[in-house]
Structure 1
Amino acid sequence: MRPSLTIFDEPLLYTEGLSKLLEQSGIFSSINLCNCQEALRILLKENPPEFLMISSNILIFTDLYKSVEKITTENKRIKIIIIGNDYDVIDIRKLFNKGIKSYLDKNSSYDEFIKSVKALLHNEIYICNHAKDRMIHFISNEQENKSHTGDPLTRRELEILKLICDGLSSKDISEKLFISINTVETHRKRILLKLNVKNSVGVVKYALENHIID
């Protein structure tokens, strides 16, 4: 049985053209177009599709992330395809962690879109070639950085790392953990040295990349 598809995107001229191409492919039994969140909400409630394509044209990343989270929580059967705008590898990972099945960049071709659909029909996930190259480069750099990382962080250092990521100052951390500011500063220096980073921004980046914080 052929699946149904909903395209959540704009402008209308583009979505209508894409839907006509897809109708000719014969892959989908029906194709619905939405260009506002209320229409999408009603459709997902009354007649949820098997496939849902969401574009960064219509939602900024934070709203897109929240929408994916809500949709996958309420209906795990929907296979979500995201058309992103050269998203960072970390953001792409976040979307997959929330349940999307396919990620394409805006420069992906129609043929690659069809390729991703066929992968999803076989219950596989799909990442476009452009994003895949960035991901491979990112992982290579990540592994290289880890090879230069010193001793693993102690439990106390991990605790302080998380508080740094929460934006707390050394004074705030000392009061929260009932330790002196000097002790906090010593831990900070050791954390920077072990992670081979220069400042708090580097600490936060490390914590995100290694899933210590979300």
Structure 2
Amino acid sequence: MKPKLTIFDEPILYTEGLSKLLTQSKIFNTIDICNSLETLSRHLKEEPPEILVMSSNMLMLTELYKVIENVISEHNSIKIIIIGNCYDMIDIRKLFNKGIKSYLDKNSNYNEFLKSINALLLNEIYICDHAKERMISFISNEQDKRNPHIKEPLTRREMEILKLICDGLSSKDISEKLFISINTVETHRKRILLKLNAKNSVGIVKYAIENHIID
């Protein structure tokens, strides 16, 4: 059965245009528009959707946190997409901690919006490419500040493998997930250990926790 979508945003011209585009995609069973907290609250009680899109146009960031908490507490099966105003990494991380499943920036295009929808339908999380680039830059800068003894920052691929190591994946698991050979994974693992001056995976996890790369 196709999911229901609710869009919480303004202006009406924009939301109606997006609604018509999504209707043509035939992804959703129904698409509803809410332009106020009152109509949103009433709609969620009467006909809660599977996916809720919320824009930063409507609320201040602190208000957005509270609304997300309220929605998740009452309807924990709703998957929330936030369209933010190029928030920094700390704010985006907090949004995910509050319970959202996807983050897009204002400059995200329609195709990326569809990618986000498809990810949610597969029970995955999604973060737009622009925010990913800022995240990598943020992490690299934090490494430089907190770890002056590290001569060379981790590459994007090394950071990706580091997180998978922290998730408890073996080299074989990582190779299958990233579609690379086990030898390539082992080479990256050795470079990560060398750069972090760590002896084993425990040292990698310890580094990741101390530097807030993982919770």
| Residue of structure 2 equivalent to 1:71 | 71
| Residue of structure 1 equivalent to 2:104 | 104
| Residue of structure 2 equivalent to 1:172 | none
Q: How does 1:88-127 map to 2 (within 5 A)?
A: 88-127=88-127
How many angstroms apart in 2 are the aligned matches of 1:126 and 1:69?
A: 19
RMSD: 1.5
Residue 94 of structure 1: how far off its partner (Å): 0.1
How many angstroms apart in 1 are the aligned matches of 2:138 and 2:48?
A: 35
| Residue of structure 2 equivalent to 1:4 | 4
| Residue of structure 2 equivalent to 1:21 | 21
| Residue of structure 2 equivalent to 1:169 | none
Q: Which amino acid aligns with 1:145?
A: K
Q: Does 1:133 align with 2:133?
A: yes
How many angstroms apart in 2 are the aligned matches of 1:80 and 1:68?
A: 8
1:15-39 CA-to-partner distances (Å, cap 9, x unmatched) read 0000000000000000000000000
| Residue of structure 2 equivalent to 1:39 | 39
TM-score (norm. length: structure 2): 0.68
Q: Which amino acid aligns with 1:55?
A: S
Q: Which amino acid aligns with 2:72?
A: T
| Residue of structure 2 equivalent to 1:191 | none
Q: Which amino acid aligns with 1:20?
A: K
Residue 146 of structure 1: how far off its partner (Å): 2.1
| Residue of structure 1 equivalent to 2:80 | 80
Residue 210 of structure 1: how far off its partner (Å): 4.6
How many angstroms apart in 1 are the aligned matches of 2:100 and 2:91?
A: 12
Name whichever of 67-76 and 100-109 sits farther off.
67-76
| Residue of structure 2 equivalent to 1:60 | 60
Unaligned runs of 5+ in 1: 150-208
Q: Which amino acid aligns with 1:60?
A: M
How many angstroms apart in 2 are the aligned matches of 1:210 and 1:104?
A: 22
Structure ID, larger Rg: 1
How many angstroms apart in 2 are the aligned matches of 1:131 and 1:63?
A: 21
SS at match of 1:23: helix
1:66-93 CA-to-partner distances (Å, cap 9, x unmatched) read 1111111111100000000010110000
1:76-116 CA-to-partner distances (Å, cap 9, x unmatched) read 10000000001011000000001100000000000000010
SS at match of 1:7: strand
Q: How does 1:146-185 map to 2 (within 5 A)?
A: 146-148=146-148
Q: Which amino acid aligns with 2:17?
A: G
How many angstroms apart in 2 are the aligned matches of 1:69 and 1:139?
A: 27
SS at match of 1:33: strand
Residue 51 of structure 1: how far off its partner (Å): 0.3
Q: Which amino acid aligns with 1:27?
A: I
TM-score (norm. length: structure 1): 0.69
Q: Which amino acid aligns with 1:140?
A: S
How many angstroms apart in 2 are the aligned matches of 1:76 and 1:146?
A: 37
Aligned residue pairs total 152
How many angstroms apart in 2 are the aligned matches of 1:142 and 1:72?
A: 31
Residue 144 of structure 1: how far off its partner (Å): 2.0
SS at match of 1:40: helix
How many angstroms apart in 2 are the aligned matches of 1:148 and 1:100?
A: 34
How many angstroms apart in 1 are the aligned matches of 2:81 and 2:137?
A: 23
